[in-house]
Amino acid sequence: MSNIVEEFNAYRSKMNEKILADNNKIIKRIFNLDTNAFAEGALDKRTKELLGLVASTVLRCDDCVRYHLEESHKVGLTKDEVAEALGIATLVGGTIVIPHLRRAYEYWEALEEIT
């Protein structure tokens, strides 16, 4: 099942490269900001990844959820911590979040299988 991690990352990298090769200044800067916004600051990286995860979940963006799950996994957040964040997202965003919750759990499981 860990294929979903590889597939997602391969597609994401390939298309990001094409987008950035396009030299659209606004889009390039937004991509750049995206890297900076999640760097250590007044808040630590762990908290920021959870913020990115919850924002992505309530806005129901599966690819964004996957990205932040992966980053959350890398910085050592536990499943309990991630699940609690997802619980808040489901409460705030409502039951329409549940299908994304299913895919988030599936992706987290795949992330754990790789390591």
* Interacting residues with a copy of itself (CB under 8 A): 11-12, 15-16, 18-19, 22, 24-27, 29-31, 33-34, 36-38, 41-43, 47-48, 50-52, 54-56, 58-64, 78-81, 83-99, 101-103, 105-106, 109
C-alpha span between 22 and 34 (Å, rounded):
18
Nearer to a copy of itself, 6 or 78 (CB): 78
DSSP string, 32-83: HHHHHHTSSSSS-HHHHHHHHHHHHHHTT-HHHHHHHHHHHHHTT--HHHHH
Nearer to a copy of itself, 3 or 42 (CB): 42
Closest distance between a copy of itself and the C-beta of residue 115, in Å?
18
